[in-house]
Amino acid sequence: MATSAPTLEAIRYTRGSLQLLDQLLLPGSTVFLPIPDFVTCWTAIKDMNVRGAPAIAIAAALVLAVELDKAKATLATPSAVASFVVENMDYLCTSRPTAVNLGEAVERLKALANRLASASAESGVTGAAAAEAVIAECESMLASDVAANRAIGGVGAGAPGAAPG
């Protein structure tokens, strides 16, 4: 009978909710920090509760998804969504200005929001639809990161001599 390998979960996300593994407490404790807003995420990145370039970028993307989910009813136009995304992602970028993956995620999400705002006049896209598109992109970034981590783990697990004994 095959058993599944243990997994390490560093990010817990469902629509509207984000928790990050507090890496400052490892290996002694496994504690997840609730990340309900941009300020809390900024602090977790700055204080190094979340570490690793991909994890920092995904944390920023997912807190944007959480905050957009809360605010989408008040963001009437794609331009309002774009302003919300740009302002808050620029703020998150100040938490670790030299983090390359964070900068790339910020630019990717800002570019999407700005494209949606530019195209809205011709396409009739609503603010809620623009917010949903940005949230979907944030969630797609998480899915891609998880898939990449599993692929890397699979290669490492199958490598000869991978686990010295």
Residue range 21-47, pLDDT digits in tens:
999 999 999 999 999 999 999 999 999
Q: Rounded to 5 degrees, what are φ and ψ at 48?
A: 70, 30
**C-beta separation of 62 from 106 below 8 A:** no
CATH fold of 11-145 = Four Helix Bundle (Hemerythrin (Met), subunit A) (1.20.120)
Domain ranges of the chain: 11-145
Which region among 79-83, 117-121, 126-130, 159-163 has the lowest average model confidence (pLDDT)?
A: 159-163
pLDDT at 159: 66
pLDDT at 62: 99
For 61, 116, 117, 135, 143, the CA distances from 50, given in Å and listed in that order, are 13, 30, 32, 21, 18
Residue-wise burial string across 26-50, b where 16 or more C-beta atoms lie within 10 A, e elsewhere: eeeeeeebebbebebbbebbeeebb
Ramachandran region, residue 51 (left: φ > 0; alpha: ψ -120 to 50; beta: rest): beta
* Distance from C-alpha of 112 to C-alpha of 123, rounded to nearest angstrom: 15
- Res 1 pLDDT > 50: no
CB 11: neighbour CB atoms within 10 A? 18
* Distance from C-alpha of 107 to C-alpha of 114, rounded to nearest angstrom: 10
